[in-house]
Structure 1
């Protein structure tokens, strides 16, 4: 049968207190930010079925990154994450190779591109992709200390404008002025509230000014946004299902106390790539243009449904989110099915058979799109 795993929890400060308790074994009284399902060495998933791994090891003991090319997370954000960007494949490989030299600064976590999709399980807010230049200029023009950045923007020099914002001297007062500048530009109430939150959470942080250059996106439950490598973003708050390539490469530009590598982050920025916002139709696969994966939500909350057949020839992961989810190989008898409770997942390698999946609640099916014959 497939490997059955649980998620590996991350308690980053920006997480919701006990926000993932329903999926990670219960409350801890601490922030629960992310639950990882995959083989990334930073937090590989524990295998819980005794048949596949009787010693109680991790999924990484069974498979490598080539066999498990996707990392799936549940993400619960109570406050904004850093303004960040992920490198494309060529830059990630080049930078990773360079940092293997003795004495080199360790900047990346691995050698892989990171591209990702976030599906809102509850209303979810984010800054993602570039705001239009005229609107960015309108906002920052009301922040006197940002005058140099505004001039660069008027000349179409986006990277120079970012450098000017990050080099600003009177940053405290500039950040305090930002919410008023956003309101004066006529932004909606929920976006203005997001800026209030950013400034109160990160007073005096230059990264707050960078968010004026980014689009504000409010996702309703069931909507999703695809973030290609090179697209700047900062998730603000909410609960979501996140699917990405197996990478933890994050280059930060602000809203963080973690190390920032500004030159490398600016090199990774893509001024033309755009995020894709989409709405899920239950049972239909989300296949963002250019994405190396597909995501399908299976919803059995309205009553009994026929099992979904998931073909072989690709990496697959089935995550139980709500209720119980039954998985079995297509040629097996129903009695051989394994039932997943919320927070557990079935992982199938490319050479394992077709699968039948049914759920009494909500489940996510994640598939690699680099399909082999």
Structure 2
């Protein structure tokens, strides 16, 4: 068990306060801080720190001794365990992030395992450089992901029920959209959504430049009247202002707009279109870079490949119920990862002296976002992990317990989804 220092990614949509406060840095930060990465991603693997100083927060100094990627390479048996080493081909299968968004992210979707493997093989055979802007599949792996909200979290995800979308379009009362509205009303199913989405995403730029302003005018009028879709209208106005002339603003009309409360967990399976709008959360995903963008971005959008990947089946977003009793709730939607949310009120009368058994083995990463927790391994190691600090627990540490230290605490534990 060792202190793990992550890396902060400074994307333009990030927050100048949330991660800076978490890491004990100057607030506001000089640049937007979007994500804290904890894992062995090839672009920026986390670092294991020398010594036993629990206060060395990720990104807050401390002498880095070696990267987590080097640990996996040098001792995959101890880091992953025998069966997991074989299953994951000596790779850490997940990447843990703390995400803080003040502006919307791009509209995107991720491929299934079969689609990723086929797409990677196809692009390799075609000789597309892995760093090329038009490359869709830099690796052969799927990228399911989940997000557990730390604050109120706003998002778009999954295709809304077509009947509700027809009601939204009619309420906005945009004459230029009347024909599209009636086409969906005549075929209110996945095929109708596919047809309308395809129409909008392939419109000539001149048509987009005419249609989006007309849509935004309808949103302004609806919001002024406090109509039933005011939240959706304001979201579209925000997207239209940030991404003028982007067909993704039209595509956003078709998606569920919702808000997660702190502690709620959203899952993004293969093919689900989604865009995070604002808020902070802990994100856990398969360790892959395969992203198919749908819009709200200046980056490459491969429409034919996107249409192969998207799942047009309508329905509400996938909220995970979680399993467990007491302070630990576990979310395990994929074999690639599971997330345990460890929430302690600080007054648990029936908490065992050694803490709560996490019930997962294999390689684990712990990050504390409130208070401080104490980890204890089956080998007798004990370490405090205070707010803004992370820890690496290899498979050879065996079972681990977690307990609060002097009051309320909130920590998250990432593991694969294979259990014990």
TM range (shorter): 0.7 to 0.9
Deviation at 1:146, TM superposition (A): 3.5
1:189: Cα distance to partner?
4.5
Partner of 2:105: 81
Question: Using the alignment, how far apart are the partners of 1:187 and 1:269 within structure 2?
Answer: 28
Q: Could you give the per-residue CA deviations for residues 66-92 of structure 1, whole angstroms, max 9, x where no partner exists?
A: 442111111111111111101111101
Report the counterpart of residue 93 of structure 2 in structure 1: 69
**Cα RMSD for the two superposed structures:** 2.8
Say which is worse superposed, 296-305 or 177-186, in terms of deviation: 177-186
1:106 aligns with 2:135: yes
The answer to whether 1:174 aligns with 2:209 is no
* Residue 362 of structure 1: how far off its partner (Å): 1.2
| TM-score for the superposition, normalised by structure 2 | 0.78
Tell me the CA shift for residue 30 of structure 1: 0.8
Secondary structure of the residue that 2:8 maps to in structure 1? strand
Query: Deviation string for 1:139-194 (max 9, x for gaps)?
Result: 33533333554354333432221121123302342342352486589545444433
The structure-2 alpha-carbon separation of the partners of 1:278 and 1:140, relative to structure 1 and needing over 3 Å to count, comes to same
Which has the higher mean CA deviation after the structures are superposed, 86-95 or 353-362?
A: 353-362
1:1-16 mapped onto 2 (5 Å cutoff) = 2-16=1-15
Distance 1:84 1:147 in 2: 27
Q: Secondary structure at the match of 1:57?
A: strand
Distance 2:233 2:199 in 1: 24
Matches within 5 A, 1:19-38: 19-24=18-23, 26-27=25-26, 28-38=29-39
Name structure 1 gaps, 5 residues minimum: none
Structure 1 residue aligned with 2:343: 299
- CA deviation vs aligned residue, 1:256-282 (integer Å, no higher than 9, x gap): 122222221221111238632246676
**TM-score calculated relative to the size of structure 1:** 0.88
Match of 1:235, SS?
strand
Cα distance between partner residues in 1 of 2:294 and 2:226: 24
CA positional deviation for 1:286: 3.3
Question: Where in structure 2 are there 5+ consecutive unaligned residues?
Answer: 53-61, 74-87, 129-133
1:143 matched to 2:174: yes
- The 3 A distance-change label for structure 1 pair 55 and 331 is closer
For the 8 Å contact 1:226–1:288, the answer to whether it is kept is no
Q: How many residues align?
A: 367
Stretch of structure 1 that moved more, 64-73 or 276-285:
276-285
Hey, which of these two has a bigger chunk of helix by percent?
Answer: 2
User: Which is greater in Rg?
Assistant: 2
Q: How many angstroms apart in 2 are the aligned matches of 1:147 and 1:42? A: 47
In the alignment, structure 1 residue 326 sits paired with structure 2 residue 381: no
The whole-number CA distance in structure 1 between the counterparts of 2:347 and 2:363 is: 29
Aligned to 1:310: 358
> 399, 403, 414: which one pairs with 1:354?
399
Q: Which moved more, 1:317-326 or 1:90-99?
A: 317-326
